[in-house]
Chains A and B, each alone.
Chain A
Amino acid sequence: MKATLQPSNRSSDGASLAAPVQGEADNQPMNDTSSRPSGGNRKRSRSGGEWFGKTYTLICVSVLIITIFSIVYFVASKGLATFFVDGVSLKEFLTGVKWSPDGEPASFGALPFITGSFMTSILAACISAPLAFCAAIFMTELMPKFGKRVMQPVIELLAGIPSVVYGFVGLTVIVPTLRAIFPGQGLGVAAGAIVLSIMILPTITTIATDAMSNLPRGLKEGSYALGATRWQTISRSILPAVMPSMLTGVVLGIARAFGEALAVQMVIGNAPFIPKSLFESASTLTSVITLSMGNTIMGSVQNNVLWSLALVLLTMTFVFVFIVRVLERRSLR
């Protein structure tokens, strides 16, 4: 009884959150227009519930849509101002390699950041994808019990570690290791990609595991019944069947790596150049935004150009989402 009263109280009076502990009599008048499941005046109360539900979801959806559109509009208007108000050429922005917004004359070549972002995230996916595939096969095919009980929670835990912790670990473990093995300072694209690869591992693994455990049982049995070994079944029957979902996972992983700022910024070295090796300092779109945002004045060209970088990020995110949609449609066919 009390549980059914709750929504009506919230809808009619946001302040009366303590209502469920009040006596029933106090709430009685409200019930007539609320979602009370039994008792008199059933018809009106039910349509009241319908109305409440519809309005509530409508409000939620509107808030979401308005937020998304505002963000896109804000980023786009600020980002495009660089080109239309401040007169920076789009060609220079996208293909220029020199970044010195405070220089005389100032130049705004963002290609090093775009390259850096793509290099780190794609390299991260290249490291992460095979690991994730193998982890998924292990958890679904080789040791399903251990996989479900121990490995899956552990891998999901990786997703919950804050990115600053990843960056910190990267800075104290990965960077010195790379410095000891390879030439250079250890800071650079390689360090960034390694940190990112661990961060996106849960995304790809979870999607791959789900795809594998959702395969029809008959698929595996059919293969075994023809005299296939376990490895033949995995490589010829399971992998091809889950490939589209795997690719979806990889693209989502790349998208996440592309947008990650803090952890990358801590290990990549933040030099505004296109690196000639994986062990040279570089920058990504996100790292340059987080580093420079505090040092610019709202409305200045130096500030607007950072919004342009954000616009590139946003556009890329849309592209990734689009790719995922296309892949999903292909796998449904």
Chain B
Amino acid sequence: MTSIMEIERLNLHYGEFHALKNMKLDIPKQTVTAFIGPSGCGKSTFLRTLNRMNDLVPGVQIDGSVKLDGQDIYSDDTDVETLRKRVGMVFQQPNPFPKSIFDNVAYGPRLHGIKDKARLNEIVERSLRGASLWEEVKDLLNKSALSLSGGQQQRLCIARALAVEPDVLLMDEATSALDPISTLKIEELVRELKKDYTIVMVTHNMHQAARVSDRTAFFLNGELVETDDTEKLFSNPVDSRTEDYITGRFG
């Protein structure tokens, strides 16, 4: 299986604090990779290095290499905007813009210069279908996105990310603020989406990782302890710390 992203010798410092220690990870194409680990272990921070969202945080220093299709995304000739278009992101809290549902989904395409109304219509419909939201909102496209329920808002954010046709979709605990039924819907959606996209998700919930991911990476105190096929990692972990975590001895 070919890798779409390859991370090597990645170190991240917040001022004095060494948040990510010498990480190495390959992310294979069209799979779901899950990051698990206790709070504060660096899994969200790591996720944010993959589309350079950490650039927005003052005092962050990164070294090592993060390659997307063989290209180092931290090299000087990388265009951050193009990178973020290729590596989309869904956040923990649903964060639709205070605009209509249509304008939310069309926001990304418009940023990248698409003005043609017919084309926008087509993109919006395709993205909303892709996020399994179309049937619920097709008659409400001009309504405010804030009038949707939390689960719908999160799927709208997924649709919004899909609208710019990314290769990789990062999900930062995208279901932790949702109720169980909405969570289930999004998990189904993730399984559907991996046919076309590569998905990297951070989750607090080990069962979720076991349910939806193909590969799982276990983080602890800024270290990437173990990465393996999900089934193998949960049934037969190599490192004793992984075993302690998945059997519920801590975290």
Contacts and interface: CB of A to CB of B under 8 A. Distances in A.
Interface of A: 216, 218-229, 232, 236-237, 240-241
Interface string B81-93: 1111100110101
A240 B145 CA distance: 14
Contacts, number: 63
For chain B, the bracket of interface size reads: 20 to 34
Of the listed residues A220, A224, A226, A240, the one surrounded by the most CB atoms of chain B closer than 10 A to its CB is A226
8 contacts: A218-B93, A222-B157, A224-B53, A225-B88, A226-B161, A227-B164, A236-B111, A240-B99
Contact of A227 (B56, B99, B112): B112
A236 B51 CA distance: 21
Interface SS of chain A: helix
Contacts of B95: 216, 218-219, 221-222
A226 B53 contact: no
A41 to B, nearest CB: 49
Contacts of B164: 226-227
A237 B97 CA distance: 7
A181 to B, nearest CB: 42
B84, B85, B95, B112 — most chain A CB neighbours (10 Å): B95
A227 B83 CA distance: 7
Interface string B186-203: 000000000000000000
Contact of A226 (B93, B96, B111): B111
B160 interface: yes
Contacts of A225: 51, 53, 84, 88-89, 91, 161
A225 B88 CA distance: 6
A225 B87 CA distance: 8
Q: 8 closest Cβ contacts across the A-B interface? A: A218-B95, A227-B85, A225-B89, A226-B108, A227-B84, A227-B81, A222-B95, A228-B111
Nearest to A218: B95
A221 B81 contact: no
Nearest to B92: A218
Nearest to A226: B108
Given A221-B95, A225-B88, 6 more contacts: A216-B93, A224-B84, A226-B84, A227-B83, A227-B85, A228-B111
